[in-house]
Amino acid sequence: MKQFLLNNLKNVFGWKAKRKIVVISVDDYGNVRLASKNAKQALDKAGLKVLSRFDAYDTLETKGDLEMLYEALTSVRDRNNKPAVFTPFALSCNINFEKMREEGYTRYIPELLTDTYNRLSLSDGNSYEGAWKLWKEGIKEGIMAPQFHGREHLNLKVFEEKLKLKDKELMACLEHNSYTSISNSGYKTISYTAAFEFDEFNENERFGQIIENGLDAFEKVYGYKSTHFNSPGGREHPVIHKYLREKGIKYIDTPWIKKEHLGKGKYKTIINYTGKKNHLNQIYLVRNVVFEPTHNRGINWVNYTLQQVEAAFLWNRPAIISSHRVNFCGHIDPKNREAGISALKTLLKKIVQKWPEVEFMAANELGELMASGK
């Protein structure tokens, strides 16, 4: 009953359409978190703890991951005879582990995702050779429509402070080309993976350059300019939306109920809905459906997700499904990927069966539709 109310409450306000639109927004693509099985064993040995399923399974998507994902997305057709489409909220850069090592870990150095794939196709060819080519094919085919999830998926202040101290966990990670299982960021207000979280408000100023740089890198990597942003881990303050606006970001994902940080642990609660505009005329999108099939919550994820899609449609809202790459990762354990992909396939099949008039849409396409006023 509580869940039923919640599913419906999320849909009371917002942009309306009689059309049955399904968007699938999936965070974390392009991010190197855990390098490999060997890296995982080495980190275990160094005493780092698995604190979440991300620490256990979240690796840069391999060729096999993409093959299985594409197979699932193209296993269904919508009313326009189009397959399902993922909007991966993706990173443009990662840590340049080799260069940092060469320099004796004196400063943070990023590298473009394409360089990361080049490096990995040499050192871990079985998993990564041909992966980037497949990525580009997915974009061309319209089943992958990546948008901006930040330059790198880490908080630079936290990273630099730990680097200066030669923090044991960080150094173990860097030695093994990973950044995961960090037990403490040193701040209650900042998660170590959250690029745009801050402790003091003026830390927001630095984010302008990271955003500018990150969006330029996005265009280089993915071949077009991003128009849609979802914050990497944790939530950004709207003060940085101007930097995004200047570089062409028109649509921003935001939670339904957002605890907006004002600095030094003070928060303000804000209610959002899809279609709401900010002072810069950027349009907000609120994900109203959750699908995390490898997160063991003792529920049937396919049924639970279908109920949420149904609630969205009942209110004439688009269903904006929220998910994470970790559900579809098989580099550490293929069983994790099998579970996630098979749930995805079943979900997609049930969606097209139940609503043959469904339309799969990329998140930015939905943004464009709302902006067009139709």
Q: Quick check: 58 binds Zn ion (CB under 5 A)?
A: no
Q: Which parts of 220-239 interact with Zn ion (CB under 5 A)?
A: 232-233
Going along the chain, which residue ranges are E strands?
21-29, 86-90, 93-95, 110-112, 147-148, 228-229, 251-253, 257-263, 266-271, 283-285, 289-290, 319-324, 359-360
Per CB under 5 A, the segment of 26-34, 216-224, 310-318, 335-343 that binds Zn ion is 26-34
Per CB under 5 A, the segment of 24-32, 53-61, 158-166, 209-217 that binds Zn ion is 24-32
- Which residues does 357 contact at the CB level (< 8 Å), separation at least 6? 19, 20, 79
Task: Rank residues 70 and 229 by Cβ distance to Zn ion and give the closer one.
Answer: 229
How many other C-beta atoms can be found within 10 angstroms of the C-beta atom of residue 204?
A: 18
Distance between CA atoms of residues 198 and 275, nearest Å: 27
Q: Which of 11, 21, 27, 159 binds Zn ion (CB under 5 A)?
A: 27
Q: Which residue is nearest to Zn ion (CB)?
A: 27
| Shortest spacing between CB 324 and Zn ion, in angstroms | 7
Task: Rank residues 15 and 159 by Cβ distance to Zn ion and give the closer one.
Answer: 159
Task: Rank residues 27 and 152 by Cβ distance to Zn ion and give the closer one.
Answer: 27
Task: Rank residues 54 and 132 by Cβ distance to Zn ion and give the closer one.
Answer: 54
DSSP 253-269: E--SEEEEEEETTEEEE
Task: Rank residues 28 and 199 by Cβ distance to Zn ion and give the closer one.
Answer: 28
Task: Rank residues 171 and 290 by Cβ distance to Zn ion and give the closer one.
Answer: 290
Q: Which is nearest to 364 in space by CA: 215, 232, 228?
A: 228
Q: Quick check: 28 binds Zn ion (CB under 5 A)?
A: yes
Q: Which parts of 316-335 interact with Zn ion (CB under 5 A)?
A: none
**Type of residue at 241:** H
Site size toward Zn ion (CB under 5 A) is 4
- Which residues does 57 contact at the CB level (< 8 Å), separation at least 6? 34, 294, 326, 329, 331, 332, 333, 336
* Contacting positions for Zn ion (CB under 5 A): 27-28, 232-233
